Amino acid sequence: MSRTYWLGILLGVLLAASSFAPQAQAAPDMMPLLLSAPWHGSYVCNQGLTRLRLTLRPLPGGSERRMEAEFAFSADPDNPQVPTGSFRMTGTWDPTTRALSLKPENWIDQPVDPSYRMVSLEGKVFLGDGQAMIRGRVATYGCEDFAVWQFFIVPATGR
């Protein structure tokens, strides 16, 4: 399949995700839980559409919270030639703007193919009713956008 086909699929997913019904106000104590649970989605680089599992772990520190992450990629059923791999990342999470910035650190599981490189992510967390999404750009040459999701149960408020 062509690169244009994959870009069209990712664009469609991102446009559909932009229609999240915004939640009036997420409970502040939910954000650490959301950030530390695995996120699942996809991204596009030179190899085409690729599955992504992003696991974030908050680290102690200031108003911009330091984060560490594991970026794990694998083949999408429509793009089965992509190998599996994973690497560690570090970066920051700004709770005020919900901006996330992650830079690569080191390989955990490096593909044999030397054309696969670690990438950086620049994104923002969006909250909806029972769902959350991080979307943004893969800030590395030859790459495009990414989007990862979570679904969660909103805790009931006491009456």
Q: List the end-to-end C-alpha distance of the chain, in Å, as a whole number.
A: 54
Query: pTM value?
Result: 0.77
Q: What are phi and psi of 14, to 5 degrees?
A: -65, -40
Q: Rounded CA gap, 83 and 88, in Å? A: 17
Supply the DSSP string of 24-44, one letter for each residue.
S---TTHHHHHHHS-EEEEEE
Any bridge partners for residue 47, and if so which? none
Q: Rounded CA gap, 134 and 147, in Å? A: 6
Tokens of 40: 């699942």
- On the question of pLDDT at 63 being above 90, the answer is no
pLDDT bucket at 15, cuts 50 / 70 / 90: very low
Q: Among residues 53, 44, 48, 51, which one has the least CA distance to residue 71? A: 53
Fold of 3-151: Lipocalin (2.40.128)
pLDDT of 113-158, one tens digit each?
988 999 999 999 998 888 889 999 999 899 999 999 998 766 655 5
Tokens of 136: 């943004």
- Report the pLDDT value the prediction gives residue 108, as an integer from 0 to 100: 97
With a CB cutoff of 8 Å and minimum separation 6, the contacts of 104 are 71, 87, 88, 89, 118, 119, 120
Contact 135, 13 (CB under 8 A): no
